[in-house]
């Protein structure tokens, strides 16, 4: 529903020149940006730069890693 209102407000307000729709669009944009700022970001557990030709294997403890030939 919010996506529909955002798009409708964008079309009728910004492109159509309707002031009330522009205000609705600005409010929805503000909420979208606020949610983006306040959301939890995933914690980085490991970071390393890979050299050309290097591989990265991600596995769990439950099973053995599977090697896929490229």
Domain membership of residue 20 (yes or no) is yes
Number of domains the chain contains: 1
- Binned at pLDDT 50, 70 and 90, residue 70 comes out as low
Looking at the chain, list the stretches that DSSP marks H as alpha helix, in order from N- to C-terminal side.
2-9, 19-38
Q: Is residue 58 one of the residues assigned to a domain?
A: no
The reported pTM is: 0.55
pLDDT per residue as tens digits for the range 33-69 = 999 889 888 778 888 899 999 988 877 777 666 777 7
Taking each continuous run of H as one helix and of E as one strand, the counts in the chain are: 2, 0
Contact, 13 vs 21, CB < 8 A? yes
User: Helix axis angle, 19-38 relative to 2-9, nearest 10°?
Assistant: 130
């Amino acid at each position: 529903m919010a996506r529909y209102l955002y798009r409708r407000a964008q079309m009728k307000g910004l492109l159509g020149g309707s002031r009330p729709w522009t205000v609705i669009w600005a409010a929805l944009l503000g909420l979208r940006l606020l949610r983006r700022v306040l959301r939890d970001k995933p914690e980085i557990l490991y970071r390393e730069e890979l050299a050309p030709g290097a591989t990265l294997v991600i596995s769990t403890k439950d099973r053995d890693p599977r090697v896929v030939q490229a």
